């Protein structure tokens, strides 16, 4: 059983302390406090008129707060005696849940509404406007915190462009050493001037990249080089490996096509009723050439795939020292080029 003790704790604290506290709904601790002597008026020989005069309110206000206290008391009596079966939920907890659903679960606004209603019940319902305004305030608060964080310690940055639901580019920068995100800016374009402006703004916070890693996007490279002319701008290995891998897979597709052609030629030769005719002899010749070419192609593909996996190993923590990596990186592309020339 889940019971929301939404305002019970703050109401009780305010009643016993007598401190004026604003509470949700129609409860107000200072005015609600007048209901206590009102409930005990008969025993303490204190009239409702005297209580109203003491608090500076009307007699109707005292009677109203007596009824509110009775309703609150009835609500407490319906709660389970075992606190283990209760969930203490405050408005702040609801706000935290909204932020977690938006940031961690990437839930849409309507989804956040449904989750709150499912878990916490009707008392936790929040409008779309409230949720949107809360996320906006949280984003502004986060930006203010981000602007206070010095970036002098970041020397190697990985920069790229992401795309949100509106297909706008989100300029992104990550510290290679700590994975700290020093840039995440939603912009209308990804031109060189846009990237330069974003980087110049970060320079005011101390960012001074010595190494900038990115893909080969023209706008990105232009903007980073303009902002950090002395930085060592390097293209990432992912796109290079992707292009090499694409060539390896295309070569494999060529081998599979050659095997399929051999299979079709075999069936065509088998259907020939007059094998001595020129057309039949041509098909046999093409079949023989195709079958002779396939073993060499398979061997070259195996070598090419081995070299490709070696490149993958070299760009990771392979155990080779720097001189060995550089020597192999110069030799492997030459070997791959020889195989490419041999197979057209």
For the chain, give the mean pLDDT: 79
Summarize pLDDT for 153-181 with one digit per residue, the tens: 898 999 999 887 777 888 999 998 888 88
Higher local confidence (pLDDT), 138 or 24: 138
Q: Is the pLDDT of residue 3 over 90?
A: no
Higher local confidence (pLDDT), 317 or 53: 53
62 burial level (CB within 10 Å; 0-12, 13-18, 19+)? buried
pTM of the complete model: 0.48
Most confident of 190-199, 230-239, 241-250, 269-278: 190-199
Helix (H, G, I), strand (E, B) or coil at 206: coil
- Lowest-confidence range among 14-28, 31-45, 173-187, 262-276? 14-28
| Cα–Cα distance, 128 to 132 (Å, whole number) | 6
- Which strands make up the sheet holding 169-175, listed edge to edge? 181-186, 169-175, 156-163, 211-214, 232-235
Helix (H) or strand (E) holding 184: strand 181-186
The dihedral built from the CA positions of residue 273, 275, 276 and 277, taken in this order, carries a sign that is positive
pLDDT score, position 82? 53
Q: Which whole number is the average pLDDT over 132-147?
A: 87
What interhelical angle do 48-55 and 59-77 show, nearest 10? 100
Beta-sheet pairing, 211-214 with 232-235: parallel
The structure tokens listed for 286 are 């093409």
pLDDT score, position 209? 92
pLDDT score, position 79? 63
- Give percent of the chain above pLDDT 90: 14
29 burial level (CB within 10 Å; 0-12, 13-18, 19+)? buried
Q: Which whole number is the average pLDDT over 251-274?
A: 86
């Amino acid at each position: 059983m889940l019971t929301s003790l939404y305002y019970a704790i703050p109401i009780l604290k305010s009643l016993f302390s007598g401190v004026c506290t604003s509470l949700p709904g129609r409860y107000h601790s200072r005015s609600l406090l007048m209901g206590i002597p009102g409930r005990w008026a008969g025993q303490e020989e204190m009239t409702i008129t005297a209580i109203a005069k003491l608090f500076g309110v009307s007699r109707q206000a005292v009677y109203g707060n007596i009824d509110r206290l009775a309703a609150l008391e009835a609500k407490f009596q319906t709660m389970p005696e075992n606190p283990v079966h209760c969930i203490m939920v405050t408005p702040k907890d609801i706000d935290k849940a909204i932020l977690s659903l938006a940031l961690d679960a990437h839930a849409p606004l309507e989804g956040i509404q449904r989750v709150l209603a499912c878990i916490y019940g009707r008392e936790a319902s929040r409008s779309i406007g409230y949720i949107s305004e809360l996320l906006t305030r949280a984003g502004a608060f986060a930006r203010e915190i981000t602007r206070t964080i010095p970036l002098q310690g970041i020397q190697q940055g990985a920069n790229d462009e992401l795309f949100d639901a509106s297909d706008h580019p989100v300029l992104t920068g990550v510290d290679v050493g700590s994975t700290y995100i020093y840039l995440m800016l939603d912009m209308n374009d990804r031109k060189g001037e846009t990237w330069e402006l974003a980087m110049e703004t970060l320079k005011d916070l101390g960012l001074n990249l010595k190494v900038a890693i990115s893909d080969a996007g023209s706008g990105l490279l232009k903007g980073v080089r303009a902002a950090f002319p002395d930085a060592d701008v390097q293209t990432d290995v992912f796109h290079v490996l992707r292009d090499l891998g694409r060539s390896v897979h295309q070569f494999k597709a060529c081998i599979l096509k050659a095997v399929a052609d051999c299979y079709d030629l075999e069936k065509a030769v088998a259907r020939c009723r007059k094998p001595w005719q020129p057309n039949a002899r041509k098909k046999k010749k093409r079949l023989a050439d195709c079958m002779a070419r396939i073993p060499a192609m398979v061997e070259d593909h195996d070598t090419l795939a081995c070299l490709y996996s070696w490149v993958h190993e070299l760009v990771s923590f392979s155990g080779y020292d720097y001189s060995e990596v550089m020597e192999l990186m110069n030799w492997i592309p030459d070997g791959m080029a020889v195989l490419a020339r041999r197979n057209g």
